[in-house]
Amino acid sequence: MPAAQELFDCRKAWATTLESLAEEDTRIVAVVNDSVGSSNLGGFQARFPDRIVNVGIAEQVMVGVGAGLANGGRVPFVSAASCFLTGRALEQIKADVAYSNYNVKLVGQSSGVAYGELGATHHSIEDLTWLRAMPQITTIVPADPWETEEAVRWAAAHDGPVYLRLSRMKVPDLGPDADGARRFTPGRARTMRHGDEATILASGTTVHLALNAADELAAEGIDVRVLSFHTLNPIDVDAVLAAAEETKAIITVEEGLKSGGLGGAVAELVTANTPVPLERIGFDGFQTTGDAETLFAKAGLSADGIKSATHRVLGRKSKDR
Amino acid sequence: MTLTAQKAPTEGVISHIRGRALWMRRTALQMVHRKGLGHIGGDFSATDILATLYFGVLRYDPQRPDWDGRDRFVMSKGHATGALYTALAAAGFFPEDMLQTYMQPESKLNGHPNRNYLPGVEANTGPLGHGFPIAVGIAIAAKLSDASFNTYVLTGDGEQQEGSNWEAAMVAAHHKLDNLTLIIDRNHLQQGTRTSETTALDPLDEKYRAFGWDVVDADGHDPVSLLDALDPSTRDGRPRCVIAHTIKGKGVSFMEDKAKWHHGVPSDDEYAIAMQELA
């Protein structure tokens, strides 16, 4: 594990990418709920003052206006703290965006437990469970600045609803895929590390933790596969089933509820197709107040926690043999 | 701005609207009677409003339902599909025969509208308080593009109890959306009882004025009054709210102003009497 990895706030990649896309594509507009600062859209507002609609503290109309802008030929990026965007406006997301199939890009900021100290009202750990119930919305959880930029570019070009789940927690640049190239294809997990004894499927802010755990496991002589599982909808069925069939042990890691999110999705697929031992790391319900690092550690969202889960799943795998 | 609404509507236009409205009521009643489901009370309170919009106000081309320059009509009270579908069929968006499939399995005519398979529908409404915010977004899009089309949205009056409408009202006034018209179907009844006995709405006009809207009253069953209220040439830089005074179940004596006809279904005898009255 490198001594001092440079860390990045992915909101910078989101904002600079959106600005450069907006320069080329005049259809792009931003819609916010008094969240210019928290969405890091000050630069966008300065460059395109007429193309940002700030509805105020009003998430229902924010999402409805997004659908209306799409009706009028615009490509709206509706950006707000995930907890309010998905929680307050869930029915608008269902009816106005998913069911109406409007070309709206929902951008959840400060997701997961980024607002750890502010308490469970401001945590957004339920959002992926809710959004997974709407497969019409492509749901992407980028893990680093490069995945963030790729996801924003793809969302702008894609004709259909998208949920981008971003964080303000700083993360390292993950570098290339295991085979040396960088490939971002929505719906296809990235293989960040080869391995055949178990597979860690991680998303967003947890992928770098999974890679650190894999390094430490390698030092113990255990080779695990690591996937950056950036797309929750549509899920990469092939990658999940290949992990089950080829490595016969799976660990899922996510900054969200284990039930219904990535862990839930993988459990559904694996039990129905190739039952293998599975450990899910994530949150179980409302979290206490605490900084994000503390909440991560408590849930086992750490290199140590992932290593322990890997040892547990390997123990079950050997018993099964 | 090109205008379709006419300052002095001709007798021909008025009688055409009235004729289409009668056909819509008879057809909606047939649909609801056949299927044994529907919202006939709200259909009938909104029928003259929709007939006036589609045959006296809106610019559209049923052959090109996605034409960028079309006026938008968002049916926020999405349960009144008996009125909406008959208006869209009468306007030529789909064949009248399709109305026979209302709410049948696999029909494109859901109980609530779906834009993905029914031309002329702008939004998949049903849950209340959704259409108005969407219409605000459409009107903002028109302003951003300097487009000349107008946007109209119809809500129920009970629907105004949904808080999202008031978010939308504030945003529309802030953006000075004089290309947006909100029509409130003010029939004083909601599903269970009178609005005044549930959560009272009045003074609705003063509320919208206080929110920065240009508010006008109209007789929601009189095309002359509605055409006057909906005339975009009389705008003054504010969004307009038309409070359309209506009677739930309008046109059938035993249905008028009765909450039970919110989603009541006529028996065969009631159907026969109603059809005699709608002649």
**Residue A320 confidence class, pLDDT cut points 50, 70, 90:** low
| pLDDT surpasses 60 at B7 | no
| pLDDT surpasses 80 at B6 | no
What local confidence, expressed as pLDDT, does residue B2 receive? 36
**Residue B9 confidence class, pLDDT cut points 50, 70, 90:** confident
A152 vs A81, A145, A234, B3, CA distance in Å?
Answer: 17, 11, 17, 40
How many CB contacts within 8 angstroms connect chain A with chain B?
A: 103
- CB pair distance less than 8 Å for A64 and B127: no
Task: Note the pTM of the prediction, 2 decimals.
Answer: 0.96
Among A56, A63, A91, the residue with its CB nearest the CB of B127 is: A91
- For B107, half-sphere exposure in the C-beta direction (CA atoms, 13 angstrom radius) is 18
Residues of chain B with Cβ-Cβ distance to A70 below 8 Å are 137
Nearest in space to B219 (alpha carbons), one of B187, B179, B253, B256: B187
B76-84: average pLDDT = 97
Suggest the residue from B112, B151, B164, B165 to mutate for an interface test with chain A (most A CBs closer than 10 A): B164
A205-223: average pLDDT = 98
Residue B143 at interface with chain A, using a CB cutoff of 8 Å: no
Going from N- to C-terminal start, the domains of chain A cover 8-171, 174-320
Residue B63 at interface with chain A, using a CB cutoff of 8 Å: no
**Residue B234 confidence class, pLDDT cut points 50, 70, 90:** confident
Among A51, A68, A73, the residue with its CB nearest the CB of B68 is: A73
Among A29, A67, A101, the residue with its CB nearest the CB of B144 is: A29
Nearest in space to A203 (alpha carbons), one of A246, A136, A258: A258
- CB pair distance less than 8 Å for B144 and A51: yes
Residues of chain B with Cβ-Cβ distance to A88 below 8 Å are none
- In CATH, the number for domain A8-171 is 3.40.50.970
Going from N- to C-terminal start, the domains of chain B cover 11-277
B244-261: average pLDDT = 96
Residue A136 at interface with chain B, using a CB cutoff of 8 Å: no
At the second CATH level, the architecture of B11-277 is 3-Layer(aba) Sandwich (3.40)
The dihedral over CA atoms of B265, B271, B277, B279, expressed in degrees to the nearest 10, equals: 110
Nearest CA in chain A to B145: A72
* DSSP, residue by residue, B182-227: EEEEE-SB-SSSBGGGTS---SHHHHHHHTT-EEEEEETT-HHHHH
Residue A57 at interface with chain B, using a CB cutoff of 8 Å: no
- CB pair distance less than 8 Å for A72 and B171: no
Residues of chain B above pLDDT 90, percent: 94
Residue B148 at interface with chain A, using a CB cutoff of 8 Å: no
| pLDDT surpasses 80 at A1 | no
Among A50, A61, A96, the residue with its CB nearest the CB of B167 is: A61
- CB pair distance less than 8 Å for A67 and B123: yes
| pLDDT surpasses 90 at B279 | yes
Q: Which residues between 95 and 134 in chain B have a beta carbon less than 8 angstroms from any beta carbon of chain A? A: 114-116, 122-127, 129-130, 132-134
What local confidence, expressed as pLDDT, does residue B3 receive? 42
- CB pair distance less than 8 Å for B164 and A64: yes
Q: Which residues between 59 and 98 in chain A have a beta carbon less than 8 angstroms from any beta carbon of chain B? A: 60-61, 63-74, 76, 91-92, 95-96
Residues of chain A with Cβ-Cβ distance to B123 below 8 Å are 67, 71, 96, 100
| pLDDT surpasses 70 at B247 | yes
Among B134, B141, B167, the residue with its CB nearest the CB of A74 is: B141
Tens of pLDDT, residues A82-99: 999 999 999 999 999 999
What local confidence, expressed as pLDDT, does residue B25 receive? 98
What local confidence, expressed as pLDDT, does residue B5 receive? 46
| pLDDT surpasses 50 at A219 | yes
Question: Is the bond preceding residue A49 a cis peptide, omega within 30 degrees?
Answer: no
What local confidence, expressed as pLDDT, does residue B233 receive? 85
- The alpha carbon of B120 is separated from its chain's Cα centroid by a whole number of angstroms, namely 13
Among B114, B138, B170, the residue with its CB nearest the CB of A71 is: B138
Tens of pLDDT, residues A243-283: 999 999 999 999 999 999 999 999 999 999 999 999 999 99
Nearest CA in chain A to B112: A95
Residue B145 at interface with chain A, using a CB cutoff of 8 Å: yes
What local confidence, expressed as pLDDT, does residue A3 receive? 53
What local confidence, expressed as pLDDT, does residue B80 receive? 97
Tokens of B14: 């008025």
| pLDDT surpasses 90 at A107 | yes
Instruction: Give the gap in angstroms from C-alpha B170 to the nearest C-alpha of chain A.
Output: 9
What local confidence, expressed as pLDDT, does residue A274 receive? 96
Tens of pLDDT, residues B169-180: 999 999 999 999
What local confidence, expressed as pLDDT, does residue B232 receive? 84
At the second CATH level, the architecture of A174-320 is 3-Layer(aba) Sandwich (3.40)
